[in-house]
């Protein structure tokens, strides 16, 4: 839709914003795909509940099941402006940009080879995802990936189980943590009956 001639005030407001600006407002509506924010300094949107919009991945650094895990309708929020969405005539916002990234803090205090304990979060064909606490999740691959050792496929992992892991690699730019099983855990594995 061509919003420019229809909503000159809205268009002018959005064009005045710069990446990194901090905007405040009230959560106007929550959908499964994101959160609409009625901005304090912005005009009303002609068709949407708010001029500001936060997509689900920008709500929190941590895994969430639903936007309501982070915000509620009527809640006051401050967000960082990311970009002007010209198609929907809205300000794309980030709530998590104003919070420290837990992975960066983890990387600052953790070294490759360090043994940690974590809780099995998911078991998938590619490997197990282990919750290391503070919103950091790492992968123990079931097959070698880029020279990283694989977990033994005969080990039986259950969601919620606490296990020992060794940090194999921390990729800060991609926000990924690769883990391995300690050598002693490989030898303790018991083959499952077939």
150: pLDDT strictly greater than 80 = no
Higher pLDDT, 192 or 31: 31
> Which of 88-102, 124-138, 152-166 has the least mean pLDDT?
152-166
186: pLDDT strictly greater than 80 = no
pLDDT bucket at 107, cuts 50 / 70 / 90: very high
The per-residue pLDDT of the chain, averaged, comes to 85
pLDDT bucket at 62, cuts 50 / 70 / 90: confident
Higher pLDDT, 133 or 6: 133
145: pLDDT strictly greater than 70 = no
**Considering the entire predicted model, what is its pTM?**
0.73
Could you write out the three-class secondary structure of the chain? CCHHHHCHHHHHHHHCCCCCCEEEEEEEEEECCEEEEEECCCCCCCCCCCCEEEEHHHCCCCCCCCHHHCCCCCCEEEEEEEEEECCCCEEEEECHHHCCCHHHHHHHHCCCCCEEEEEEEEEECCEEEEEEECCEEEEEECCCECCECCCCCCCCCCCCCEEEEEEEEEECCCCEEEEECCHHHHHHCCCCCC
For residue 126, the model assigns a pLDDT of 85
Higher pLDDT, 123 or 1: 123
For residue 152, the model assigns a pLDDT of 56
pLDDT bucket at 42, cuts 50 / 70 / 90: confident
Looking at residues 85-109, what average pLDDT do you find?
93
């Amino acid at each position: 839709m061509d919003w420019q001639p229809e909503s000159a005030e809205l268009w002018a407001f959005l064009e005045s914003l710069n990446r990194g600006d901090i905007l405040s407002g009230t959560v106007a509506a929550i959908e499964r795909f994101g959160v609409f924010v009625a901005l304090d300094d912005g005009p009303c949107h002609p068709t949407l509940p708010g001029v500001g919009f936060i997509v689900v991945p920008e709500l929190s650094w941590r895994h969430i099941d639903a936007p309501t895990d982070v915000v509620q309708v009527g809640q006051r929020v401050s967000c960082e402006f990311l970009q002007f969405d010209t198609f929907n005539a809205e300000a794309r916002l980030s709530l998590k940009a104003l919070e420290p990234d837990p992975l960066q803090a983890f990387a600052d205090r953790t070294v490759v080879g360090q043994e940690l304990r974590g809780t099995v979060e998911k078991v998938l064909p590619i490997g197990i995802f282990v919750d290391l606490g503070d919103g950091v999740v790492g992968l123990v691959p079931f097959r070698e990936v880029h020279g990283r050792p694989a977990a033994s496929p005969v080990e039986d992992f259950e969601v919620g189980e606490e296990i020992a892991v060794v940090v194999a690699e921390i990729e800060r730019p991609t926000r990924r943590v690769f883990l391995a099983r300690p050598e002693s855990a490989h030898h303790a594995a018991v083959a499952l009956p077939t």
